[in-house]
Amino acid sequence: MEHALNYLSYNGQGDGNGGSGRWAIAMGLMLLVLLVFQYLAPKPQVDPNAQKAEQTKAQAAPAEAVPVAVKYDLAPRTLSTDTYDVTFTNAGGGRVSSFLLKEPDRYSEHGDFIRSQKPEVDSKGGILPLEVKFGAFGIVPETQFKTVSAENDHKQARFVYQDLSGNYEFEKTFTATDKPYVVHASFKLTNRTAQALADDLAISMFIRQIKGEEPGLFTPGSYVAAKCYTGGSMKYLDATDKDKNKSFDNNLKWFAVDESYFAMAMTANHGASCEIRNDDGLLKSTLNVPVVIQPNQAVTYDFDIFMGPKEARYLNFGEPADKSLELEAVIDYGFMEVLAKPMAWILDKFHDWTGNWGIAIIILTLIVRILLWPIAQKSQVSMSRMSKIAPLMQEIQEKYKDDPATMQQKQLELYQQYKISPFGCLPLLIQMPIFFALYRCIFVTGGLYRAPFYGWIHDLSAPDPYFILPIISVLLLVGQQLLTPNAAKNKQQKIMMIAMPVIFGAMMLFLPSGLCLYMVISSTFSMVQSYYVRRLIAREEDIVPEKGDDDANTIDVEALSSKDKRAAKRREESKES
């Protein structure tokens, strides 16, 4: 039920003949769809044969012995640019031991991306990213490399492994680039023997869910996953996919580990394959590169590593205008991608224009509501007119209670005569996907991480610290209901009118303030529109039906006797009591 209740939204109007009831049903149906989706949505499946093969291989193969090599002193090196500080350690052979973002300042508040992968002993690589295994050279995850770059060189870090006989050499070079959040990696493998060598070079990255930051029913938390981009789509395993694994070798472009707003991704070329695993909560993404080294030859493999926020402007770090890497796909918009992705692009453009994500959300909200104005106005007018003809509807129900087909036909005729749309909840249903899509944007777009607005709102991706926006939203929803002419006729509907906005407001206490801002602006717009519709209806002196030439089958309000009207009114009053 991941975040299902977080998606609830309401901007519709009630009416005197069950509008609030239809709204509640619509809300319930939308929630039911979300809950069913969470359980029925396809998840990455475990290949039983592959799993069995892995177990057989693990049982048959002897444990790899740590090669006999010189033990070097711990000598980490840090690459520093305007946007990041990345530290590589020679423990485990040139692995990332720290990844800190510097620009903008709010990213630095996140802390170390490697916080869930820190080893207990600094001299061991543990599960630090960029673990390397190459059996042909006897290199295992804990093999130490010698640091050969200068300590004061913050643009390049070099680490070298050489076996005691001098037959094999593995050199890793990491270079800071002028592209934001991108490090270039070069792996050079030298074979000084008279025999050719062939083996897979395995490069792995890890991440695990930090306790206390798990996504909850009302709180986004921090979503973590291991990912590969293969065959034109992104594949992943997340923290809930316990003890599962999957392999891919079709047109692989990158592999990664990420959390909600940040990612570490590495280009995957050289005819590689990818494997993603969840070993009891430890997520692992591995690139396997087939390597062949001829006698007395060396081969070099180059990669680009992205370590930064999941913002589209930074993710396509290839050549200018080259989006062939498809690294934007690391931003997982879920089943709302068809709306959320273009919405994120629009928000990004508005942010570039205004310099404030909150203002961008307000502009987007106003544009959405302006586009929906004709539909919403028609719906509100229809519901207002429906409340006025409620006595006539009751009369039809009484007159044709033993003939359901005729009763339905007469009701439809009445709708047509008084220009009433039976789809009063349509504006609500249209706005629900927009609400969901915006929530997803706020949840996974790096640019919105700790993005400030004004006043007390210092983080649009976090709940309102003083609950001011949720309270304002509830008041606006209640006011919007009260502005609807003759909105409720009985006690049940009146209770529904007040209770549902309050319940929704209670859930909004836990939603990101950026989403609450959307609701406040949208509800304010709805109130203005409701007031306008109310004035429009008030100017109508009477509701005159459109009659054709044949009036024989037409039901006319004026045709009702005074006695019938008084009887209908008494029935309505009896319902209230």
Q: CA–CA separation, 156 vs 110, rounded Å?
A: 25
Q: Are strands 197-208 and 244-248 parallel, antiparallel or unpaired?
A: unpaired
* Alpha-helical segments (H) within 10-108: 19-40, 48-60, 105-108
Angle between helices 491-508 and 468-483 (to 10 degrees): 160
What is the structure's pLDDT at 32? 44
Confidence of residue 366 (pLDDT cuts 50, 70, 90): very high
Q: Is residue 545 part of a domain?
A: no
Structure tokens at 17: 């003949």
Residues 154, 254, single domain; the answer is yes
Highest mean pLDDT among 27-31, 434-438, 478-482, 533-537: 434-438
* Alpha-helical segments (H) within 94-246: 105-108
**Which range has the worst mean pLDDT, 267-271, 386-390, 493-497?**
493-497
Residues 316, 354, single domain; the answer is no
Domain endpoint, select from 304, 332, 360: 332
What is the structure's pLDDT at 216? 66
| Structural domain of 21 | 10-37+342-538+554-570
What is the structure's pLDDT at 172? 97
The tens digit of pLDDT for each residue in 34-89 reads 433 333 344 434 344 444 434 333 333 333 444 445 578 889 999 999 999 999 99
Tally of domains within the chain: 2
Q: CA–CA separation, 417 vs 533, rounded Å?
A: 20
What is the structure's pLDDT at 282? 92
Highest mean pLDDT among 293-297, 397-401, 462-466: 293-297
**Which range has the worst mean pLDDT, 24-33, 226-235, 274-283, 349-358?**
24-33
Confidence of residue 106 (pLDDT cuts 50, 70, 90): confident
What is the structure's pLDDT at 577? 52
Residues 300, 353, single domain; the answer is no
Task: Look up the CATH number of the domain holding residue 222.
Answer: 2.70.98.90
Residues 323, 361, single domain; the answer is no
What's the whole-model pTM score? Answer: 0.76
Cα angle 444, 445, 451; round to 5:
115
With beta carbons less than 8 A apart as the criterion, state whether 69 and 90 touch: no
What is the structure's pLDDT at 550? 42
Q: Which of 400, 401, 421, 420 is closest to 553 using CA atoms?
A: 400
Q: CA–CA separation, 96 vs 100, rounded Å?
A: 11
pLDDT surpasses 90 at 452: yes
Structure tokens at 354: 């205004």
Domain endpoint, select from 275, 309, 332: 332
pLDDT surpasses 70 at 544: no
- Judge if the upstream peptide bond of residue 104 is cis by omega within 30 degrees of 0: yes
The tens digit of pLDDT for each residue in 546-559 reads 444 444 344 444 44
Q: Is residue 47 part of a domain?
A: no
Mean pLDDT of the chain: 79
What is the structure's pLDDT at 120? 67
Q: CA–CA separation, 215 vs 209, rounded Å?
A: 10
With beta carbons less than 8 A apart as the criterion, state whether 98 and 112 touch: yes
- Give the length of the chain: 577
Q: Is residue 90 part of a domain?
A: yes
Q: Is residue 120 part of a domain?
A: yes
Residues 221, 86, single domain; the answer is yes
With beta carbons less than 8 A apart as the criterion, state whether 513 and 497 touch: no
Structure tokens at 230: 């293969």
Residues 173, 27, single domain; the answer is no
With beta carbons less than 8 A apart as the criterion, state whether 43 and 278 touch: no
Q: Is residue 576 part of a domain?
A: no
- 3-class DSSP state for residue 390? helix
The tens digit of pLDDT for each residue in 280-338 reads 889 999 999 999 999 999 999 999 999 999 998 888 765 554 577 889 999 999 888 99
Q: Which of 437, 259, 434 is closest to 337 using CA atoms?
A: 437
Cα angle 156, 157, 161; round to 5:
145
Buried b (16+ CB within 10 A) or exposed e, 190-204: bbbeeeebebbbbbb
Residues 375, 508, single domain; the answer is yes
Residue 131: C-alpha distances to residues 174, 202, 271, 478, 494 (Å): 14, 8, 19, 57, 63
With beta carbons less than 8 A apart as the criterion, state whether 184 and 309 touch: no
Q: Are strands 225-230 and 168-176 parallel, antiparallel or unpaired?
A: unpaired
Q: Give the residue, 493 or 486, on which the prediction is more confident.
A: 493
What is the structure's pLDDT at 424? 59
With beta carbons less than 8 A apart as the criterion, state whether 473 and 516 touch: yes
Q: Is residue 20 part of a domain?
A: yes
Q: CA–CA separation, 512 vs 510, rounded Å?
A: 7
With beta carbons less than 8 A apart as the criterion, state whether 369 and 522 touch: yes
Residues 172, 275, single domain; the answer is yes
Residues 322, 404, single domain; the answer is no
- 3-class DSSP state for residue 281? coil
**Which range has the worst mean pLDDT, 169-183, 373-387, 559-573?**
559-573
Cα angle 169, 171, 177; round to 5:
170
Share of the chain above pLDDT 70, in %: 75
Q: Which of 385, 355, 340, 262 is closest to 515 using CA atoms?
A: 340
What is the structure's pLDDT at 395? 84
Residues 254, 392, single domain; the answer is no
Residues 145, 165, single domain; the answer is yes
The tens digit of pLDDT for each residue in 146-194 reads 999 999 999 999 999 999 899 999 999 999 999 989 999 999 999 999 9
Q: Is residue 56 part of a domain?
A: no
Q: Is residue 420 part of a domain?
A: yes
Highest mean pLDDT among 217-231, 353-367, 382-396, 404-418: 353-367
Residues 213, 73, single domain; the answer is yes
Buried b (16+ CB within 10 A) or exposed e, 118-152: ebeeeeebbbbbbbbbbebbbbbbbbbbbbebeee
Domain endpoint, select from 288, 307, 332: 332
Buried b (16+ CB within 10 A) or exposed e, 220-235: bbbbbbbbbbbeeebb
The tens digit of pLDDT for each residue in 498-513 reads 788 888 888 888 889 9
Q: CA–CA separation, 438 vs 3, rounded Å?
A: 13
